[in-house]
Structure 1
Amino acid sequence: MSIFHRIDKRISLGAAVFLVAYWFLSKEKKEKRGIPTPKGAYFYLGHLPLIGSSPSAKVKEWHDQLGPIFGIKMGVQRWVFVSDPEMAHDLFVTRGASTSSRPYFTFGNGVHAPDNRGVIFADYSRSWKNARSAVLNILSPKSVDSLRPTLELETKRGVDLMMTGDEILPLEYTRLIALNIALATIFGLEGAESIEAKVYREVIGNLEETGQFSSATSDIRSFLPAFAFLDVIFRSKAKMHSFVEKKSRPLYRRLIGLARENDQPSLIQKLDEIKESLEIDEQNILSLSNELVVASVDTISLEMAWTMAILCKYPEYQKKVMTDIDEFRETNGRLPSFDERDQVVYLTAFIKECFRFRSSAHVGLPHRVSEDIVYKDYVIPKDTILFNNGHASNHNSQRFQNPEKFIPERYMGDTRSLYASSNGNIQSRELFSFGWGRRICPGIYLIYL
C-alpha cells in the first residue's frame, strides 16, 4: 500500500469523523429552542414601552401566556424571567457559578458603592465574597439571637404606639417599628418615638431617595445607550452624586460614629471586629450599613403591613391565631418566644402563609449570566439578566394546592425557621421570596424573627 493511499484513507476517515460530528452538532443546535418572547417589541426599545405602570402585573400576564420561562428585550439588554421553583433552583443554585453576577447599575455600582463595594449591587468577585462573609457573620442566627431583647423591646414599643390612635396608616407604623429595629440592631441606637421624629424623617427620606435613584427609570442609559445624552440635559448622574455626598454618606457616617461611641451591642461593632481579616475598608462599611438599613426596613415593614392587612381581611384566621396565643399565655403566663414556635403551631403556620401569600417583593434582584449556558433545550447567552418571579414561585400550583387562597393549614406541623428551610434542599423548601444560592438574602433569620 503506497503512502499516498494511506494518506488518502486517513483523509477519508477524518472527513467522515468531521461529517458525523458536524451532524450531531447541527442536530443539537436545531434542537435548542429560543426562549419564548412576547409579541409587540419595538425597534431598539424592545419591550420597554410595554411594561406599563405595573411591571409585576405585566410579568405575571406574560408568564400566563408564555409559561414558566420567557425573555424580553429591554433596550439593549436581554432579560429572562423564571417562575418555576425547580427551574429557578437549577439556574441560580446548581449553575450558580455562572449566574451569580450582577448587571451594572449607574447608581448602585457607580455612585453608591463604587469599586465593587457592598453586597447588593456588587458583582461576583473576591471583594464581594469578603463583604458577604462579613454580613453572613453579623446576621448569623447566633449573632441575631444576642440582640433578641432589643428586637422584642422595639417591636412592643411600636405596637404600643399603634394602639394610641383610633385610625392609623399601618405602613407608617410598620416602617417605624422596622426602622427602630434597624437602628437598635445595626447601630445600637435608641429609635424614633413617633413618625414625626427627626431621625424617622431623615432615615426614611434617605431610604425613599435611594429607592428612586436605584430604579430602572433613573438608569435609562443602561437600557438605551443612544439616549445617554439625556443624562447631560437632566443631570441624572450629577444628582445621584450630590445625594450620596451631601445626604447619604454624612447620615451613615454619623450613625456609625454613634454606634462606635456607645456601649450597646450592635452589628457595626461586630463588623469592626472582623473587618481587617476580611479587608473591609471604611467606605465599604458605609455602603454595607446603608444596604442593611434599606433591606431590613423595606422587607420588615412591608411584611408586617401585609400581615396586618391579612388579619383584617380574614377575621376567622385572626381568631384562631388569638386562640393559639391565649392558650400559651394561660399555660405559661407570658407571650411565646421565637424558640417556642413549636408550641404555637397555628401562629407559626399563619406567619409562613403570610410570607407566601403576599411577599414584600414580587420579583427578586437581577442576576447576570457571566458565560453562555445551556439549560435543557434553551441557550442563555452571556450577559443575559435573569430574574426569579418569587411571587409566581410562591403561587406555583404544582407546589401549593389552591395557591391563590390564603390557607395557613398548609404549613401546620412544620415549625422549621425560614432560615433552615431556605438553606435546605429544593424539595423541602417552603418559600421562594428571599433569593437563591450565592445571592440568597443573608438576613432571612432576622426578618423571620
Structure 2
Amino acid sequence: MGQQCWIILTGDKVVSDLLQKRGGKYSSRPPNYYFYQILTRSKGFINGPYDERYKKLAPIMLELLGQRAVKKNSDLIDSQFRILMQNLYQASTNIEDSLYPKYYFQLASLNIITILCLAKSLKDIEDPFYKEFEIFTKNYLELIKITNRLSDFFPILRLFSGNKLYRRVFEERRIIESFYEKLIEEVKNDSEEKLCFIRRLLHKVDEEMLDELDIIYLINDIFLAGTDTVSSSLTWITAVLANNPQVQYKAHQELDQVIGHSRLPSASDEPNLPYIRAIIKEGQRYRGPIYLGVPHYIEEDDEYNGYHIPANSVVILNQYGIHKDERRYENPKEFKPERFFDITESSAVLANGNYQNRDHFGFGAGRRLCTAIHMAELELFWGVSRLLWCFKIENASPLGKDGKQIPIDLEKACIGATIWPEKYHIKFIKRHDNVEKVLFG
C-alpha cells in the first residue's frame, strides 16, 4: 500500500498463529502522524502502541468494561434495555408508517456509558446531548476513514493535501477536547459528588498516574467504542430478522416456552435460550459492525510458513473474509442461526481458546481483543431477546412490481470505522397483550 507493507490475515489459523500465539510481536498499532500524534496527542487507548503505557491503562479500562464491572453494573444495563423496549413500543404506536431503529439502539448504548462515566442519563433521541454526540461521532468517524490517510501511503500527496488535512485534524481535536472537557467539569462541579468513572479517573490524576488529557481520550475511546459497535450490530440484526420471518417464528416459540408472557427475559435465562444465542452469534458473523479490525503492527522481522514478514508492517485481521470462508462456514451467504445452536460458550471464552472452536472474529483477536467484549455480549443478549419477546419485526419496504415486499438490501452498507446498513423501514408489532403491561406496569 504505497510505502507501507500490509499483511492481510484472511485465515482463522493464521490469525491464531500470529495474533494470539505471537501476540507479543503483533499487538502494537501502526504509527500515524495525523491521527495518532496530532488528533489524539498519543493519549488514546484503542489506537495506542502496545507499550508500558498501554499496560498501565489496560487495568484502568477493565475497571469499567471488564467482566467484574459488567456483573456489578448488570442492573443498570438491564434497566436501559427495558427503557429501549418502552421507547420502541411508544415510537411504534405513535406513528402510522415505519421507523429506522438505529437511533434508539444508539441511545440505549450511549445511556449506559453516560451513566457509568457521568452519573447522568439522557431522556430520548431528542435530547440535546444525544444530538450533539451523534453529530460529533459521525464527523469524527468520517475523518478517520482510511481514505483520508492516503498521504500515509503516498507521502508525495502531502504536498497537495497536507495543510488542508492538518487543519481538519486540528479542528476535530479542538472539538473532541472541548466536548469532553465540559463533561469533566460537570463531574468536578457536582456538589453531590456522585460516583462515576470520570471521578475515579480524576483521583488517578491526583495520584499522578494520569493527566486530564489522558482522561479526555480514554473517555473518547469508551464513548465511541461503547456505543457504535453494539448499536450497529443491533441495527443489522433487526434488518436481517425482518427479512427472515421463519427465524423470528422459531425464536418466538423458544421465548414463549422458556419465558412465557408474564416477564421479560433476564440474564439468567441465557443458557436456556440457545436459539436466541445462536441468532446473536450468527448476526455477528453474517453482518457484523466491522469488516477489517483495528490494524495491528509488527516492529521486528518475522518468518511464518516460509513467508518473510518485514519489520514495520501493518497487519490486518480481515473479519469479513473469514466470516465468508466456505471452508469454515457452510453456505456463508445464508443467515443460518442453526450453525451455532449447540455452542454454549460465550464469545469471550471462545476468543481465548482454540481458533477452530471460535464462533466469529467480530471482537478481534490476541492481546488487543475488545476490552468491552463482556459488556457487548450482555447488551446484545438483552437487546435481541427482549426485542423478539416484545415484537414481531415486519419489513415495511415498498412493494415491488410483482406486488410483493422488496426485501431489505443487506448488501448496501455505509462504510466507515463501523459498518451500518443503509437506512431501511420496518414496523414493530407487539406480539401479545401483555407487552404493554410488562413494559410499563
Aligned to 1:168: 99
In structure 2, distance between residues paired with 1:126 and 1:227: 34
| Structure 1 position 106 matched with structure 2 position 33 | yes
1:94: how far off? Answer: 1.4
Match of 1:253 among 155, 158, 181: 181
What SS does the corresponding residue of 1:385 show, helix, strand or coil?
strand
Specify whether residues 227 and 330 from structure 1 end up closer, same or farther in structure 2 by C-alpha distance, changes over 3 A only.
closer
Specify whether residues 106 and 212 from structure 1 end up closer, same or farther in structure 2 by C-alpha distance, changes over 3 A only.
farther
Aligned to 2:157: 227
What SS does the corresponding residue of 1:118 show, helix, strand or coil?
coil
Aligned to 1:297: 227
| Count of aligned pairs between the two proteins | 371
In structure 2, distance between residues paired with 1:257 and 1:320: 50
1:263: how far off? Answer: 5.6
1:376: how far off? Answer: 0.3
CA offset digits 1:26-51 (Å, max 9, x no partner):
xxxxxxxxxxxxxxxxxxxxxxxxxx
Comparing 142-151 and 311-320, the one that deviates more: 142-151
In structure 2, distance between residues paired with 1:350 and 1:190: 30
* Paired residues of 1:107 and 1:214 also in contact (CA < 8 A): no
CA offset digits 1:387-434 (Å, max 9, x no partner):
011122223323222222211112223232222221223232221111
In structure 1, distance between residues paired with 2:53 and 2:19: 20
Match of 1:326 among 242, 256, 260: 256
Comparing 124-133 and 273-282, the one that deviates more: 273-282
In structure 1, distance between residues paired with 2:251 and 2:117: 31
Larger radius of gyration: 1
Specify whether residues 264 and 147 from structure 1 end up closer, same or farther in structure 2 by C-alpha distance, changes over 3 A only.
farther
Aligned to 1:179: 110
Comparing 297-306 and 92-101, the one that deviates more: 92-101
Aligned to 2:82: 156
CA offset digits 1:181-206 (Å, max 9, x no partner):
22223332212412x32111111111
Aligned to 2:146: 216
* Paired residues of 2:35 and 2:169 also in contact (CA < 8 A): no
Q: TM-score, normalised by structure 1?
A: 0.77
Alignment of 1:400-415 (within 5 A): 400-415=329-344
State the one-letter code of the partner of 1:80.
I
In structure 1, distance between residues paired with 2:132 and 2:370: 26
In structure 2, distance between residues paired with 1:84 and 1:168: 38
Comparing 258-267 and 431-440, the one that deviates more: 258-267
1:358: how far off? Answer: 1.0
* Paired residues of 1:106 and 1:219 also in contact (CA < 8 A): no
In structure 2, distance between residues paired with 1:346 and 1:355: 14
Aligned to 1:385: 314
In structure 2, distance between residues paired with 1:337 and 1:275: 38
1:442: how far off? Answer: 0.5
In structure 2, distance between residues paired with 1:157 and 1:197: 15
Specify whether residues 101 and 84 from structure 1 end up closer, same or farther in structure 2 by C-alpha distance, changes over 3 A only.
same
What SS does the corresponding residue of 2:259 show, helix, strand or coil?
helix
Specify whether residues 146 and 271 from structure 1 end up closer, same or farther in structure 2 by C-alpha distance, changes over 3 A only.
farther
Aligned to 1:439: 368
What SS does the corresponding residue of 1:201 show, helix, strand or coil?
helix
Specify whether residues 85 and 111 from structure 1 end up closer, same or farther in structure 2 by C-alpha distance, changes over 3 A only.
same
1:372: how far off? Answer: 0.8
Stretches of structure 2 that go unaligned for 5 or more consecutive residues are 379-441
* Paired residues of 1:176 and 1:192 also in contact (CA < 8 A): no
1:306: how far off? Answer: 0.8
Aligned to 1:422: 351
What SS does the corresponding residue of 2:260 show, helix, strand or coil?
helix
Aligned to 1:338: 267
In structure 2, distance between residues paired with 1:153 and 1:382: 48
Specify whether residues 313 and 168 from structure 1 end up closer, same or farther in structure 2 by C-alpha distance, changes over 3 A only.
same
In structure 2, distance between residues paired with 1:278 and 1:130: 13
Aligned to 1:141: 67
In structure 1, distance between residues paired with 2:315 and 2:208: 29
Alignment of 1:6-405 (within 5 A): 74-114=1-41, 116-163=42-89, 164=91, 165=95, 166-194=97-125, 196-233=126-163, 235-245=164-174, 247-259=175-187, 261=190, 265-272=195-202, 279-330=209-260, 333-405=262-334
1:382: how far off? Answer: 0.7
In structure 2, distance between residues paired with 1:427 and 1:320: 28
In structure 1, distance between residues paired with 2:134 and 2:107: 9
In structure 2, distance between residues paired with 1:403 and 1:277: 51
In structure 2, distance between residues paired with 1:109 and 1:85: 29
In structure 1, distance between residues paired with 2:160 and 2:347: 44
* Paired residues of 1:117 and 1:284 also in contact (CA < 8 A): yes
* Paired residues of 2:62 and 2:69 also in contact (CA < 8 A): no
* Paired residues of 1:138 and 1:270 also in contact (CA < 8 A): no
In structure 2, distance between residues paired with 1:264 and 1:401: 51
